[in-house]
Amino acid sequence: MKNVNIYLVLLTFFFTSCAEKRQNIPVFSYYLSNDSIKKFQLNINKNNNLINFEYSSNKDSVRDLLLKYNLEKDFIIERLDTFFTKGETYNSKEFKFKLYQRKEILSHNRVLVFNNTYGLLANLAFGKDFILLRDSVSKSEKEVIYKKLFRNLNKISIK
């Protein structure tokens, strides 16, 4: 009987250690174009070389966002788009974020500001700009963050 219990404990440990999960992290979405704030729940699931970042809204499932980050090859898949690192970074107080873009710019440029521990910090695209923060901030703090992001983005565009 002792052997059965030991095997059960080992099997449980094995199955729980293969996948890392962080659930229901509150995230606030701030838009550049207006002062509305949307609340999301972030769930992070890591399996082998893939980390899923799922941002879900209780009020509007259309706004849900799922990012799949490939650790080994350093790219992000979001719906039908694949984003590759540009080698440029944005440094916040706590994290170093990489900037990701599509290989081919179709109608407009879209940049994801991303860290594989934190998740998505910002989506910078014509008319669809938003930042995702784990803390609530004031309107002036939101604007400062956007200015820093756009200043950093302009440096990259000039190079």
Distance CA 101, CA 88 (A): 11
pLDDT in tens, the chain (159 residues): 555 455 444 444 444 445 568 898 999 999 988 888 899 999 999 998 999 999 998 776 667 899 999 999 999 999 888 999 988 899 988 899 999 998 877 667 789 999 999 999 999 987 788 999 998 889 899 999 999 998 887 765 544
Global pTM value? 0.80
**Hey, which residues does 85 pair with through a beta bridge?**
100
8 A C-beta contact, residue 91 and residue 106: no
Distance CA 10, CA 84 (A): 39
